[in-house]
A and B are shown apart, each in its own frame.
Chain A
Amino acid sequence: MSAVPETHAIAAPLRIPRFGLWLFILSESMIFAALLSARFVLQGTYRPAELNQTLGLAITLILLTSSFTANRAEIAIAHGKTAMFLRNLLATILLGILFLIGVVALEWPEAMHFAPPSSGFGTVFFSLTGVHAFHVLTGVLVLIAVYWLGRRGAFGPGRMWGVEGAVKYWHFVDVAWCFIYPTLYLVR
């Protein structure tokens, strides 16, 4: 039915999806750039002393580790190591869930006391962490879908765009946090 020969579609399969994903990531990063700049416009470098630095560092390390395991999962499936791929992908998913628990269940209730959403810093804090947590949630859901497909043998060397796309998105979530963490927890 299609006018494009199937062999042509296979010859250059990833250039356009990759470019599309990078455009999507670029457009998403604009949201974070707007929120990050709003933090400095609205609050300058003010930072409440009550911010839980230990928790902030802990969730940062969790997210960095999840990027490491996601990278290992991607390399593993590119080399046909399915068991290693699944193991590392599962670790990434669990670390993502742990990060969400750290932000939503631990950090938010604490922050409610000294920076309620109605306050200046609270607006910035809950907007940035909220939008980011939503991205983490969607990333976790996508990784769960990839894990489910991976268990059914959907991926392997040369047929791993699903893994690559999901992992790239996950790394983007980590890149965003690289800027959010110092912006919220470290500047003064």
Chain B
Amino acid sequence: MRGTLSPFRVGMLVFGGLLGLTALEIMAATALPRPLPALAVLAVAKAALILWFYMHLRQLWHEEEP
């Protein structure tokens, strides 16, 4: 993904993903009788997106510019 897309575009796609996951959270909270497991998975997915793409977690192993 990083090799073919500009960092600005990756940032935009991640933002879109975060909005989509937030929409799924709302849907899960309204549609499911016990939404806790689904909400936990969605929250972890959102956090993972931010950690990996916005916080550049892999810099801990590979030195790189954002």
Q: Which residues of A contact B (CB under 8 A)?
A: 12, 14-15, 18-19, 22, 45, 57, 60-61, 64-65, 67-68, 70-72, 74-75, 78, 157-158, 164, 168, 171-172, 174-175, 178-179, 181-182, 185-188
Cβ contacts under 8 Å, A188 to chain B: 29, 35
Most buried by A among B28, B42, B47: B47
Write the nearest CB–CB distance from B3 to chain A, whole angstroms: 16
Interface residues in B47-66 (C-beta closer than 8 Å to A): 47, 50-51, 53-56, 59-60, 63, 65-66
Please tell me if the beta carbons of A67 and B50 are within 8 angstroms of each other in the complex. Answer: yes
Give Cα A61–Cα B65 distance, bound, in whole angstroms: 27
Write the nearest CB–CB distance from A21 to chain B, whole angstroms: 10
Cβ contacts under 8 Å, A78 to chain B: 7, 65-66
Instruction: Identify which of B36, B50, B65 contacts A174 (C-beta below 8 A).
Output: B50
For chains A and B in complex, what number of residue pairs have CB atoms within 8 angstroms?
A: 88
Cβ contacts under 8 Å, A171 to chain B: 50-51, 54-55
Cβ contacts under 8 Å, B43 to chain A: 178-179, 181-182
Cβ contacts under 8 Å, A157 to chain B: 65
Please tell me if the beta carbons of A182 and B55 are within 8 angstroms of each other in the complex. Answer: no
Cβ contacts under 8 Å, B59 to chain A: 14, 18
Please tell me if the beta carbons of A15 and B15 are within 8 angstroms of each other in the complex. Answer: no
Cβ contacts under 8 Å, A179 to chain B: 43, 47
Q: Which residues of B contact A (CB under 8 A)?
A: 7-8, 11-12, 14-15, 18-19, 22, 25-26, 28-29, 35-36, 39-40, 42-43, 46-47, 50-51, 53-56, 59-60, 63, 65-66
Give Cα A70–Cα B15 distance, bound, in whole angstroms: 11
Please tell me if the beta carbons of B11 and A172 are within 8 angstroms of each other in the complex. Answer: no
Give Cα A43–Cα B29 distance, bound, in whole angstroms: 18
Give Cα A45–Cα B5 distance, bound, in whole angstroms: 41
Which residue in chain B gives the minimum CB-CB distance to A63?
B18
Please tell me if the beta carbons of A182 and B47 are within 8 angstroms of each other in the complex. Answer: no
Please tell me if the beta carbons of B11 and A18 are within 8 angstroms of each other in the complex. Answer: no
Cβ contacts under 8 Å, B22 to chain A: 57, 60-61, 64
Give Cα A175–Cα B25 distance, bound, in whole angstroms: 15
Cβ contacts under 8 Å, A164 to chain B: 66
Cβ contacts under 8 Å, B53 to chain A: 71
